[in-house]
């Protein structure tokens, strides 16, 4: 493990009061009611060895094959090691790696993961069509702290995120971190919980630019640019783990999360997918063959 653990370049406070291990819920994995209670209390459920490792590694091989074809792997190494060249450009990768990818879709939207959400929700589950994929090369910074509700709150309120490591993701590689108890902070985060990154004020200075299709410099949903300072302000600990292929981490739309910086020389590969009761409305930004996502068609003007 790297001696220094950072996120967005800030050295994390790793004292027991500020940094800890995610609680695994394998002891209650066969009890959906207990899992729902754990989600309500902790804001997340972490399950070791929940998914089929062979399926995870099949998806990993497909992802790395695509990265190699795009010139994103260092020469002279095994494909599955996922060694990234120095200063590789990650822009051609990320979300594109999930498109028309039967191996990844099979892992996320068939088999054990869908069955898990059927049990967890106590009714048939459905998923967003859009898959968020994170391909983070060695030396790259992590993701800023945020809650998912500001990106996908126009449908069901019973949406949950599944974060799946596509291969082993040690702390060195910059895995996901969750801020303990952050889903229960209405006194400090209530206003943030209610925001929508694609809503804008009709009388704002930016309104004309947005309506003309200029979407540059809009708010990207970040809660903070400094995860160390944010933890001091909100309390709790940043929680993470040395993740293994087959692990599953699920959390609520109001759970603050981020990721660590990648201090290795390997690609950190992971996916974010979203699940909800099938009978409840979906956020249309993330549905269909070509979701509008955060494009111009998703913007909603409001009287502020």
Q: Is the pLDDT score of 216 beyond 70?
A: no
What would the mean pLDDT of 204-215 be, rounded to a whole number? 75
Tell me the C-alpha to C-alpha distance, in Å, between residue 151 and each of 81, 219, 294: 33, 11, 8
In a domain, 217, yes or no: yes
In a domain, 255, yes or no: yes
In a domain, 98, yes or no: yes
pLDDT digits (tens, 9 = 90+) for 61-99: 999 999 999 999 999 999 999 999 998 988 888 778 999
| Domain of 21, in residue numbers | 6-302
Burial of 192 (0-12, 13-18, 19+ CB in 10 A): middle
pLDDT digits (tens, 9 = 90+) for 223-249: 999 999 999 999 999 999 999 999 999
Q: Is the pLDDT score of 278 beyond 50?
A: yes
In a domain, 1, yes or no: no
* The predicted structure's pLDDT at residue 204: 79
* The predicted structure's pLDDT at residue 217: 66
Tell me the C-alpha to C-alpha distance, in Å, between residue 227 and each of 4, 54, 195, 224, 287: 15, 35, 20, 7, 31
pTM score, whole prediction: 0.95
CATH of the domain at 76: 2.60.120.620
Phi, psi of 203 (to 5 degrees): -100, 15
Of 304, 297, 292, 296, nearest to 128 (Cα)? Answer: 292
pLDDT digits (tens, 9 = 90+) for 31-69: 999 999 999 999 999 999 999 999 999 999 999 999 999
DSSP tag of 181:
T
In a domain, 202, yes or no: yes
In a domain, 229, yes or no: yes
8 A C-beta contact, residue 97 and residue 66: yes
β-strand pairing of 199-201 with 300-302:
parallel
Domain count, the chain: 1
Distance CA(229)–CA(68), nearest Å, equals: 38
Burial 201-219 (b: 16+ CB within 10 A, else e): eeeeeeeeebeeeeeeeee
In a domain, 165, yes or no: yes
Distance CA(74)–CA(293), nearest Å, equals: 32
Distance CA(155)–CA(2), nearest Å, equals: 41
8 A C-beta contact, residue 159 and residue 152: yes
8 A C-beta contact, residue 127 and residue 273: yes
Q: What is the mean pLDDT of the chain?
A: 94
In a domain, 129, yes or no: yes
């Amino acid at each position: 493990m790297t001696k220094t653990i950072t996120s967005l370049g800030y050295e994390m406070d790793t004292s027991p009061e500020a940094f800890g291990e995610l609680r695994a819920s394998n002891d209650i994995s066969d009890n959906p009611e207990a899992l729902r209670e754990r989600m309500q209390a902790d804001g997340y459920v972490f399950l070791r060895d929940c998914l089929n490792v062979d399926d995870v590694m099949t998806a990993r091989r497909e992802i790395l094959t695509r990265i190699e074809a795009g010139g994103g792997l260092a020469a002279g190494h095994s494909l599955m090691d996922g060694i990234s060249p120095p200063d590789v450009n990650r822009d051609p990768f990320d979300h594109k790696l999930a498109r028309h990818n039967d191996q990844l879709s099979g892992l996320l939207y068939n088999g054990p993961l869908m069955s898990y959400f059927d049990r967890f929700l106590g009714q048939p589950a459905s998923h967003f069509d859009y898959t968020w994929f994170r391909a983070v090369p060695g030396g790259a910074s992590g993701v800023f702290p945020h809650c998912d509700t500001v990106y996908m709150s126009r449908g069901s309120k019973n949406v949950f995120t599944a974060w799946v490591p596509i291969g082993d993701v040690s702390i060195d590689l910059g895995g996901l971190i969750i801020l303990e108890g952050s889903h229960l902070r209405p006194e400090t985060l209530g206003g943030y919980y209610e925001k929508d990154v694609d809503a804008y004020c009709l009388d704002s200075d930016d309104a004309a630019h947005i309506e003309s299709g200029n979407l540059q410099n809009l708010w990207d949903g970040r809660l903070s640019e400094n995860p160390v300072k944010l933890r001091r302000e909100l309390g709790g600990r940043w929680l993470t783990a040395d993740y293994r292929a087959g692990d599953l981490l699920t959390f609520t739309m109001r759970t603050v999360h981020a990721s660590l910086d990648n201090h290795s020389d390997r690609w950190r590969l992971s996916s974010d997918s979203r699940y909800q009761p099938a009978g409840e409305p979906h956020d249309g930004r993330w549905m269909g063959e070509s979701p509008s996502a955060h494009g111009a068609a998703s913007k909603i003007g409001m009287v502020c």
